[in-house]
Amino acid sequence: MGLGRWVVFAPVIGLFASFAAARPITPCTPSQPELPPLINATISALVKGLQSKQFTSVDLVEAYIRRIHEVNSALHAVIEVNCDALDLAAQLDAERADGQIRGPLHGIPILIKNNIATKDGMNTTSGSYALLKSTVPEDSTIARKLREAGAILLGKTNLSQWAYYRSSNSTSGWSALGGQTYGAYYRDQDPNGSSSGSAVASSLGLAAGSIGTETDGSIVLPSSWGNVVGIKPTVGLTSRSLVIPISEHLDTVGPISTNVKDGAIILQAIAGFDAKDNYTSAIPNHGVIPDYVAACNYYALAGARIGIPRSAMALRATQISTYGPQVQIFDKAVSIMRDAGAVIVENSDFTAAAELLNSTVEGLVTNADFIVGLSRYFNQLVENPENVTSLEDVRQFTQSFGLEDYPNRDTKVWDDALFEQRWNNTDPRFWEAYMELLYYGGEGGLLGAIERDNLDAIIMPANGSPIFAAGAGAPVISVPLGFYAADTTVVKNDRGMPFVAPGIPFGISFMGARFSEAKLIGLAYAYEQRTRVRDRGKLIIEPTTELRDVLASY
C-alpha cells in the first residue's frame, strides 16, 4: 500500500522540514501530512487519514490493540478486547472503498463501559462474575447507535464494580472480573470512578474515545482525575436501554474523550429518542438533536452569563482534600473566561446546598430504583448462567463466590437497600424522597440559580460538583483545569492508592439547565481552546505504539 512509501520518506521529510524552517523554499516533492499521534489524535484527524488512505481502520484497530496490551497489565483499563474488531474494521474499510460511509464515526474505534450491553462476542457484566457469559437479546441502544454511526466497538472498559453500587469499602475502578484500574499520572493512582477504565483509556489514547455512564459523578470525576473531557448528558438525552442500571431517575450515558469536539461528535451519535427508554421522550424540539459539533465555537464565551456558586464551593472546601489549590487555578480560569467576554456572576448560589450535602434522600431514591431496575435488566437476559433475577440473588452470589472478594469488599450498599430501607420505587415513600431530591437540584440548587440569575452555565471545580446536577438530571461537562503542584502532600484512599499527589490532574465543570448540552459544549470548547491544559499533563506510563509502527510492520 502507499503507506509503506510514507514510512520510508518520514525521516527525509523531517530533515527537510527543519531545513525549510531555516530557509523558506518551495519543496520539490509534495510533503506527506504527519500521522496523528495516538495519545491525542482527534476524530477529525483520524477521519482525514482514513479518507486520504494514509492508513486504514484495520491499521487503527491494530495500533490501538497494541497500545492496550502495552499498558493493560499495569493499569487494567480494558476488561475485554473485541475479538471481532479487526474483522469489523476490514468490513468498514471495504465499505469506505465502495464509497459507503455509515456516519461520522465510520471506521473509528471506540471503547465502551462494561455495563453497556452488546450482542456480540463480548461480555456485559458490570465487572461481576454473576453476569459472566450472560447474553442479551439485542445490542443496547447506545451500542446500536455507535455501530450505525460507523464506530468499531473496540472493547469494553473496566469500571468500579456495579458502577460503585455495592460496597462501602471497595475502591474506584475495581471489579472482580477486571481487577484494579489505576490512573496514569501517579504510581498506583486512584482513578476515581465509576467509568474508571473509560477515562484512563481516553487519557492514554487506547481508542479514539470512550463511553461512560453516570448516576452521580461516574463520568465527571474519572474524567477530572484522568485529564480528559467527560460529558454527562441530561438524563433522557441518551437511552439506557440494556445498560445495567443504578437509577432510572439519575442514570445517563455519555462520552469521555481527549477534547471537547470529539465528545460532541460522539454525543451526536448516541443522543436521541428511543422507544425503549421513555425518558428520552423528554428531549425538546420534537426530539431533534442540536448540532453539537457546530456548537464548538471559539467565541462562545463572548456575552455568556456564567455563575459561580461560591457558598456551595465553600461547603465543598470543608469536605474535599486540597480543594484550595483547585480553587486558585479555578479563579485563573474565571479570568480567562472574563477576558473572552463572559459575564461572570459571583455568588450565584444553591440555596439548599447545605441540606443536600447533609441529606440521605439521593441514596433512598437510587436504592429504590436499583432494586427494580436491576431485576428488569436480569429479566431481559437471554442466557443467565448464574440465574440471578434479583438484588437478593446477586448479593447471595457475591457473598459466596470467592473471586468477588467478599467480605474484604463488603456489600453494604445492597444490605442497606434490602434490609434497612426495605422499599423500592413502587412505594409512596419513593415520591416523597424523589420530590425532595428534585427540589435540591431544582429550585433549591442548580436549576434555581440558573433561572434566578438568567445564566447560560454554572462553573465550579469538577471534584465535588456532580451531586449538584445529579438529582435534577442536569448536564455537566468536565474539562481539564490543572494539576496538583510538585510540593503537594500525597493523600491516599483506605487501600493505599493516592488520589491527591503531585501531577494528578483535576477538571472544571460546566453545568447547565436540562438539555442545554449545545450551550455547555460551546463554553467548554471556548475555554479548552484558550487553555489547552491537557497538553501539560505528565503521564508516568504511556503506550508507544503509533500508526507508523503498524504501517512499518507490513
Ligand X SMILES: *[C@@H]1O[C@H](CO)[C@@H](O)[C@H](O)[C@H]1NC(C)=O
The reply to whether 404 sits near ligand X by the rule CB under 6 A is no
Listed ranges 7-15, 70-78, 107-115, 541-549: which one lies at the site for ligand X (CB under 6 A) = 70-78
Minimum distance of ligand X from residue 425's CB (angstroms): 7
Q: By three-state DSSP, how is residue 181 classified?
A: coil
The reply to whether 108 sits near ligand X by the rule CB under 6 A is no
Listed ranges 75-83, 201-209, 341-349, 520-528: which one lies at the site for ligand X (CB under 6 A) = 75-83
Residue 175 phi, psi dihedral angles, 5° rounding: -140, 155
Question: What is the rounded CA–CA span in Å between residue 105 and residue 95?
Answer: 13
Query: Out of 76, 232, 249, 395, which residue is the one contacting ligand X (CB under 6 A)?
Result: 76
Residue 330 vs residues 216, 308, 314, 333, 484: alpha-carbon distances, Å: 22, 10, 13, 5, 13
Minimum distance of ligand X from residue 135's CB (angstroms): 6
Residue 29 or 318 having the CB closest to ligand X: 318
Per-residue contact string for residues 21-40; x = within reach of ligand X by CB under 6 A: -------------------x
113 catalytic per annotation: yes
Minimum distance of ligand X from residue 189's CB (angstroms): 11
Listed ranges 164-172, 201-209, 328-336, 477-485: which one lies at the site for ligand X (CB under 6 A) = 164-172
Per-residue contact string for residues 239-258; x = within reach of ligand X by CB under 6 A: --------------------
Question: What is the rounded CA–CA span in Å between residue 365 and residue 249?
Answer: 8
Query: Out of 75, 79, 117, 300, which residue is the one contacting ligand X (CB under 6 A)?
Result: 79
Candidates 109, 92, 90; CA nearest to 101 is 92
In the bound complex, which residue of the shown chain has the CB atom lying closest to ligand X?
Answer: 179
Query: Out of 26, 285, 318, 358, which residue is the one contacting ligand X (CB under 6 A)?
Result: 358
Q: Which residues contact 400 (CB under 8 A, 6 or more apart)?
A: 406
DSSP 271: B
Question: What is the rounded CA–CA span in Å between residue 362 and residue 135?
Answer: 31
- Cα 494 from chain centroid (whole Å): 25
Helical spans, DSSP H, in 401-553: 412-415, 428-441, 446-452, 467-470, 517-531, 547-552
The reply to whether 49 sits near ligand X by the rule CB under 6 A is no
Instruction: Give me the residues paired with residue 399 across strands.
Output: none
The reply to whether 301 sits near ligand X by the rule CB under 6 A is no
> Are the C-beta atoms of 226 and 200 separated by less than 8 Å?
yes
The reply to whether 318 sits near ligand X by the rule CB under 6 A is no
- β-pairing, 210-214 with 109-113? parallel
Cell reading at 144? 446500536
Per-residue contact string for residues 188-217; x = within reach of ligand X by CB under 6 A: --x-xx------------------------
Listed ranges 13-21, 195-203, 352-360, 441-449: which one lies at the site for ligand X (CB under 6 A) = 352-360
Query: Out of 7, 16, 42, 399, which residue is the one contacting ligand X (CB under 6 A)?
Result: 42
- Segment 123-152, which members bind ligand X (CB under 6 A)? 123, 132-133, 135
> Are the C-beta atoms of 252 and 473 separated by less than 8 Å?
yes
Length of the chain: 554
- Residue 549: count of CB within 10 angstroms of its CB: 15
Minimum distance of ligand X from residue 552's CB (angstroms): 22
Residue 185 vs residues 167, 223, 415, 501, 543: alpha-carbon distances, Å: 26, 13, 35, 9, 13
Per-residue contact string for residues 478-507; x = within reach of ligand X by CB under 6 A: ------------------------------
Residue 328 or 454 having the CB closest to ligand X: 328
- Radius of gyration (C-alpha) of the chain in whole angstroms: 23
> Are the C-beta atoms of 240 and 253 separated by less than 8 Å?
yes
The residues annotated with a catalytic role in the active site are 113, 194, 218
Residues that bind ligand X (CB under 6 A): 40, 42, 72, 76, 78-81, 121-123, 132-133, 135, 164, 169, 172, 178-179, 190, 192-193, 221, 278, 320, 354-355, 358, 371-372, 375, 386-387, 407-408, 410, 424, 426, 463-464, 535
